[in-house]
């Protein structure tokens, strides 16, 4: 008696669904059992290198939309007048870190996407180039470069898809998963794209070492 190919296909589908559910359970269990401790963003310093840090707060509505477990929202200013607007969201559930990308939030505030793509930044102090997504927005005569990436259990990722791959790599490597972080930096482009990128790289060289203790990841590992 031959088994129907539809029955076989159904069994394969059920097996895949069960495996996916088991993977989600493994991730949740790994997160809940993690022994890794992190410093809360409430203790973030008021200066980082030569940069002055002005801490800001999310509104109740923003907190409701982002569902973030801990966060840093701040404006960084250098003695030369350069400015960086930073948001770092820390999520116990890694899935939530990939919500609300700037390509959705910015257009909702009236910005138009001029350019959008992947890049890798060379930052002093990092062993590897930092994988990021760079999006240039414009609104009237304003232009802003928004750079963002994800950090998870020692891996960095430039897109939500790569963040999920990083989760798998972490699980198979036996690393504890304590949560995921989304790092987003907005830079004015008044001086042009090259100047904005140079300012960003100089800022990251000072910012990333300070950030590491608040999102317990080794950012030198690119992904």
73 falls within a domain: yes
Instruction: Express each pLDDT in 170-190 by its tens digit.
Output: 777 766 666 889 999 999 998
18 falls within a domain: no
Tally of domains within the chain: 1
Among the listed residues 175, 157, 154, 177, the one whose alpha carbon sits nearest the alpha carbon of residue 165: 157
* Predicted structure pTM score: 0.78
76, 101 Cβ separation under 8 angstroms: no
Domain span at residue 113 reads 34-211
150 falls within a domain: yes
pLDDT computed for residue 11 by the predictor = 47
> Is pLDDT at 34 greater than 60 in this prediction?
no
112 falls within a domain: yes
Q: At CA 168, angle to CA 163 and CA 172, rounded to 5?
A: 145
218 falls within a domain: no
pLDDT computed for residue 197 by the predictor = 92
Q: How confident is the model at residue 17 (pLDDT cuts 50, 70, 90)?
A: very low
Using CA atoms, how far apart are residues 82 and 150, in angstroms rounded to an integer?
24
7 falls within a domain: no
In SS3 terms, the chain reads as: CCCCHHHHHHHHHHHHHHHHHHHHHHHHHHHHHCCCCCCCHHHCCCEECCEEEEEECCCHHHHHHHCCCEEEEEEEECCCCCEEEEEEEEECCHHHHHCCCHHHHHHHCCCEEEEEEEEEECCCCCCCCEEEEEEEEEECCEEEEEEEEEEECCEEECCHHHHHHHHHHHHHCCCCCCCEEEEEEEEECCCCHHHHHHHHHHHHHHHHHHHCCCCCCCCCCCC
Instruction: Express each pLDDT in 77-136 by its tens digit.
Output: 999 889 999 999 999 888 788 888 898 889 988 999 999 999 999 999 888 899 999 999
CA Rg, the chain, in Å? 20
64 falls within a domain: yes
71, 88 Cβ separation under 8 angstroms: yes
16 falls within a domain: no
179, 94 Cβ separation under 8 angstroms: yes
Highest mean pLDDT among 11-20, 34-43, 134-143: 134-143
């Amino acid at each position: 008696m031959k088994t129907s190919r539809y029955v076989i296909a159904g069994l394969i589908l059920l097996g895949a669904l069960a495996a996916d559910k088991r993977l989600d359970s493994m991730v949740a269990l790994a997160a809940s059992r993690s022994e890794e401790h992190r410093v809360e963003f409430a203790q973030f310093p008021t200066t980082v290198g030569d940069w002055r840090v002005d801490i800001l707060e999310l509104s109740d509505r923003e907190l409701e939309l982002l569902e973030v477990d801990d966060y840093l929202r701040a404006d960084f200013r250098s003695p030369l007048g350069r400015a960086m607007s930073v948001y770092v969201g820390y999520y116990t559930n890694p899935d939530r870190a990939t919500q609300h990308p700037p390509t959705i939030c910015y257009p909702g505030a009236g910005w138009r996407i001029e350019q959008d793509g992947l890049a890798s930044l060379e930052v002093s102090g990092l062993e590897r180039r930092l994988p990021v997504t760079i999006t240039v927005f414009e609104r009237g005569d304003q232009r802003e470069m928004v750079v963002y990436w994800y950090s998870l259990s020692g891996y960095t990722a430039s897109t939500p898809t790569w963040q999920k791959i990083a989760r798998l790599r972490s699980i198979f490597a036996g690393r504890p998963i304590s949560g995921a972080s989304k790092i987003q930096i907005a830079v004015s482009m008044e001086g042009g794209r090259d100047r904005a990128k140079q300012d960003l790289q100089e800022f990251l060289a000072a910012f990333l070492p300070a950030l590491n203790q608040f999102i317990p990841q080794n950012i030198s590992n690119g992904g």
